[in-house]
Amino acid sequence: MKIFHFDELGSTSDYLKEKKDKKEWDLVIADVQTSGRGRRGNLWISPTGAGLFSFALKEDPNLSMEEYSRLPLIVGIALLHGLKSMVELDYKFKWTNDVYLYNKKLSGILVEKVGDFFIVGIGININNLEFLGASKNGISLKSATGNRYEVLDMIKAVVNSFKKYWNRYLRGEWDEILYEINEKNYLLNKAIEIEFLENKISGIGGKILENGRLEVETIDGIKEFMVGEIHIKL
């Protein structure tokens, strides 16, 4: 695993996407990002003290796109356990791929495909105390515990955790991984509104299914969602 560490970059994911000679597991880290990107075109405010990094995963021709559709969920649970191995707190996994702590967003994941690579970009609020833009409702490890953490150690723990989970997935352990994901399912039994395309549907969050979809109990019965922005109703 080769680490490319910068004081400042536009976006670690953009850097890796554009890197011509990238290799699997290349890891790009920035202390600050000037144009950090979140999902759905959101800006990801990327101040110093946050963990801002992207790594490259080479597409395996033996895996189908359906199998790859679970990648964001696997990154999510690996991120949660990587964090837990460093700082023992009650993290939750918010489908499709955020990590929450005490009902606030701690970390976000952006998975993109470029050529025969998947670029996994992760932002973790670690020592920063600003959570603007996409993570308005944010929390950092420092704001939660009052302690400062070593950002590089945290990033390495997350990437190593992902490697372990990915190997398990390749060995056919999806059922066990899914069980772990459901144990941390933040949306379970919560009143939610799911927004996708031009639609908004209300319901009660259910379990995450074998196909990676979220089950939602709506007034029209149980529905499954593959994508969508989730709002928690208070």
Q: Which residue ranges make up the site for ligand BTN (CB under 6 A)?
A: 11-13, 33, 36-39, 42, 44, 46, 52-54, 98, 108-110, 121-123, 134
Q: Measured from the CB of residue 95, what is the shortest distance to ligand BTN in angstroms?
A: 13
Q: Where are the beta strands (DSSP E) in the chain?
A: 3-9, 27-33, 51-58, 91-94, 98-101, 104-114, 117-124, 191-196, 199-208, 214-218, 221-225, 229-232
CA dihedral 60, 209, 55, 10 (to 10 degrees): 130
Q: Least distance from C-beta 213 to ligand BTN, angstroms? A: 19
Closer CB to ligand BTN, 55 or 174, in the complex: 55
Give the nearest distance from C-beta 38 to ligand BTN in angstroms.
Answer: 3
Contact 90, 80 (CB under 8 A): no
Taking the complex as a whole, how short is the minimal distance between the CB of residue 135 and ligand BTN, in angstroms? 7
Pick 42 or 69: Cβ nearer ligand BTN: 42
Residue 72 CB neighbours (<10 A) = 19
> Which residue, 112 or 173, is less far from ligand BTN as judged by CB?
112
Q: Residue type for 118, please? A: F
13/140 with CB nearer ligand BTN: 13
Helix crossing, 71-86 with 174-183: angle to 10°? 60
Query: Order of strands, edge to edge, in the sheet holding 104-114?
Result: 3-9, 27-33, 51-58, 117-124, 104-114, 98-101, 91-94
Residue 13 or 143: the one with the smaller Cβ distance to ligand BTN is 13
Residue number with the shortest CB distance to ligand BTN? 108
Residue (125 or 174) nearer to ligand BTN, CB: 125
Pairwise CA distance, residues 39 & 42, whole Å:
6
**Least distance between ligand BTN and beta carbon 32 (Å):** 11
The 3-state DSSP class for residue 99 equals strand
Considering the complex, what minimum distance in angstroms separates the CB of residue 173 from ligand BTN? Answer: 26
